Amino acid sequence: MVTSLVGTEKNGAAEDPSGDSRDQSPRPRRRRIRANRVGLYGLLGVAALTALFPLLWMLSGSLQTQDELLSGDSLIPSGFHWKTYVTAWTDGDLGTYLSNSVFYTLTAVLGILVVSSMAGYVLARVEFWGKGFFTFVILAVMIIPAPAMFLAQYRLLLDLGLTNSRLGYILILITSGVPMATLIMRSFFVGQPRELEESAALDGASPLRIFASIILPLARPGLAAVAVIQGLHAWNEYLMALVLFDDNSLMPIQRGLTSFNSAETPQQQVLLAATVISVVPVIVFYLLAQRNIVNGLGAGALK
């Protein structure tokens, strides 16, 4: 499954659309195929434009003046009004929100990797009491949807004094990522060879040591897939951030954007510029880690 996602480019070369030389009437057939292909590219081009247009438009709107934006006449800004970005950055307090988001995302991903790789490892490799039961529990909680839980999660954190708290938010982020990450790691460990850990165990290495110095380094591709997917999840999380935070200095960027949007009614192009700034890190990340993201999504959905 995963490998074929990577191999996208190779496959198509096999079917050569230029036609069959034994064909009795090659010319009309070839023309029809070419017309088909033009139609195909045309269709895909329209779809690509539909996917991209809102993003390009956001960029364009963020560079327009307020008058241009309100009149709505132009798709392309008359000049590049970079000042808007400075205003957005300072008025929107984006530095605070972005660094909060980076902090939450990194700690949540790290926590998920540690917890889920340990759990996935024993579920894949070790026979122990209650293995079937724990596997079932981890599968079952994946079915519980957020709407059934977020209210009670809020109340629980309120009781624990963990609302408006970095720790509370991070614990929620980690918990929501652990079940799927554990299943991905488990299926990854199932396919790994056992010889290395067996010989290390004969040499008297402790289980934790075997895990940390032999198992984990071999699991790097699995860890990378989990990290990018969970990183995107954590960065984009909105519902719990909305419920848990009142204090602006603790908010992640998604929550900060809505509070910027509603609180002080900023000028529209400033709001658009703030949105662009919030999107840049995630788009850069996507373009850099694209292959991992695609593989991780496939692994997460099909495991």
Partner 1 sequence: MASLTARVRDRRTLRRNITALAFLAPAIALIGVFTITPFVQAILLSFQSWDGISLETPWVGLDNYEFVFGDDEFWASMKNVAIFGVVGFFLGNALPLGMAIAVNRIRRLRTFFRTVFYLPGILSVVVVGVIFLFMFEPRSGVLNQMLDMVGLESLQQNWLGDPSFALPSVAAVFIWFHWGFGFLLFLAGLQDIPEELYEAAELDGARAWAKFRYVTWPQLAPVTTIVSLLTLLAALQIFGTVQVLTNGGPGSHTLVPTLLIYEEAFTNNRYGSAAAMSVLFGGALVVLSFLQLTIARRRADK
Among positions 278-297, residues that touch partner 1 (CB under 8 A) are: 278-279, 282-283, 286-287, 290, 293-294, 297
150: burial class by Cβ within 10 Å (0-12, 13-18, 19+)? middle
Least Å distance, CB 82 to partner 1, is 20
Calculate Rg over the CA atoms of the chain: 25
Site for partner 1 contains 246 (CB under 8 A): no
Determine which residue in the list 81, 216, 243, 266 makes contact with partner 1, applying CB under 8 A. 243
What secondary structure letter does DSSP report for 126? Answer: -
Site for partner 1 contains 270 (CB under 8 A): no
Count of CA atoms in the C-beta half-sphere (13 A) of 270: 17
Determine which residue in the list 98, 182, 188, 250 makes contact with partner 1, applying CB under 8 A. 182
Site for partner 1 contains 55 (CB under 8 A): yes
C-alpha angle 156-261-61 in degrees, rounded to nearest 5: 140
The DSSP annotation for 225-253 comes to HHHHHHHHHHHH--HHHHHH---GGG--H
Site for partner 1 contains 213 (CB under 8 A): no
Determine which residue in the list 87, 236, 248, 267 makes contact with partner 1, applying CB under 8 A. 236
Stretch that binds partner 1, among 22-30, 77-85, 135-143, 190-198 (CB under 8 A): 135-143
33 contacts 27 by C-beta, under 8 angstroms: no
Nearer to partner 1, 224 or 279 (CB): 279
Stretch that binds partner 1, among 21-29, 57-65, 79-87, 187-195 (CB under 8 A): 57-65
Among positions 59-88, residues that touch partner 1 (CB under 8 A) are: 61, 69-73, 75
Site for partner 1 contains 46 (CB under 8 A): no
Our measurement of the distance from residue 95's CA atom to the centroid of its chain's CA atoms, rounded to an integer in Å, reads 21
269 contacts 64 by C-beta, under 8 angstroms: yes
Least Å distance, CB 146 to partner 1, is 6
Our measurement of the distance from residue 118's CA atom to the centroid of its chain's CA atoms, rounded to an integer in Å, reads 22
Among positions 9-28, residues that touch partner 1 (CB under 8 A) are: 9, 11-15, 17
Give the span between the Cα atoms of 31 and 48, in whole angstroms.
25
Least Å distance, CB 47 to partner 1, is 6
Least Å distance, CB 26 to partner 1, is 18
Site for partner 1 contains 144 (CB under 8 A): yes
Among positions 101-130, residues that touch partner 1 (CB under 8 A) are: 114-116, 118-119, 121-123, 126-130
Give the span between the Cα atoms of 172 and 300, in whole angstroms.
19
The backbone torsions φ and ψ at residue 238, rounded to the nearest 5 degrees and listed phi first, read: -130, -45
Assigned token pair, 12:
């198509």
Site for partner 1 contains 100 (CB under 8 A): no
- Spatial neighbors of 240 by CB under 8 A, at least 6 apart, are 150, 153, 169, 172, 173
Site for partner 1 contains 272 (CB under 8 A): yes
